[in-house]
Amino acid sequence: MTGRRTSTTDRKAAAEPVDQLPAVVRCSWVGLADAEYQRYHDEEWGVPVGDDRALFEKMVLEGFQSGLSWLTILRKRQSFRDAFDGFAPERIARYGERDVARLMADAGIVRNRAKIEATIANARAFLALSEHESFAGLLWRIAREDRPAGTGAIVYSPADVPAASAASNRIAKTLKARGFRFVGPTTMYAFMQSVGMVNDHIHACHRHAACQKLQRAFKPPVHRGDIGKTS
């Protein structure tokens, strides 16, 4: 049995050094050489999230990130999950001063009393809101009030990314009115980027088109206030 004849083109391809192969293009984040950060960029950032509890965790972590780098939070994320009972709102809502002291002594997380106390308050606000409406449904409805899914200004460089938006301002205002803390417009915009409510991967990034497709296909949970409405 004879094998396929090796062409000149095949021989050239086989001999081509690996370092000459096209590099994967990613967003130009500071610290993206970190393997865990790359995984987060490639697998999580910009992918739509529709689960109430997953959104609650993201919101809390974005609040803790305020004033710090996201890489710092990412490296501590499992420690945060362990310390905050897997971000179960019904458990966090019962935390008292002893739990605050425990968390303040935990070197695995960001030990900021105001943010810890805000997390407890946010868990209670989350449970109160959930008695009447879907957390995810509410946030996604506000996020999509201005534009259809997967549309909006294309980001060609980091300079094109805003610090906040009209939607993040509305989300911040809505949540603050319901008792949430550390949910300012800038924090909420970072939250929106993370959970796929906007696509701020730069156009050249290998994840831009993929996230755009996911966002266009994503069907968010129905906001209870919209049930029964006709289009």
**Residue reference for tokens 């205002």:** 173
Our answer to whether residue 145 is catalytic in this structure is: no
> What percent of the chain stands above pLDDT 70?
84
Rounded Cα distance, 211 and 207, in Å:
6
pLDDT range class, residue 22, cuts 50, 70, 90 = low
Domain 25-224: give its CATH code: 1.10.340.30
Which of 37, 45, 70, 189 is flagged as catalytic? 70
**56-90 tens-digit pLDDT:** 999 999 999 999 999 999 999 999 999 999 999 99
Ranges of each domain in the chain = 25-224
3-class SS at 103? helix
Amino acid found at 66? S
**187-199 tens-digit pLDDT:** 999 999 999 999 9
DSSP of 124-180: HHHHHHHTTS-HHHHHHHHHTSSS-TT-SPPPSSGGG--S--HHHHHHHHHHHHTT-
Which of 37, 45, 57, 62 is flagged as catalytic? 62
Q: Classify burial at 130, counting beta carbons within 10 Å of its beta carbon; exposed 0-12, middle 13-18, buried 19 or more.
A: middle
Our answer to whether residue 62 is catalytic in this structure is: yes
**165-183 tens-digit pLDDT:** 999 999 999 999 999 999 9
pLDDT range class, residue 30, cuts 50, 70, 90 = confident
pTM of the model: 0.86
Our answer to whether residue 70 is catalytic in this structure is: yes
Residues 224 and 132: beta-carbon distance below 8 Å = yes
3-class SS at 78? helix
End-to-end CA distance of the chain: 67
**125-141 tens-digit pLDDT:** 999 999 999 999 999 99
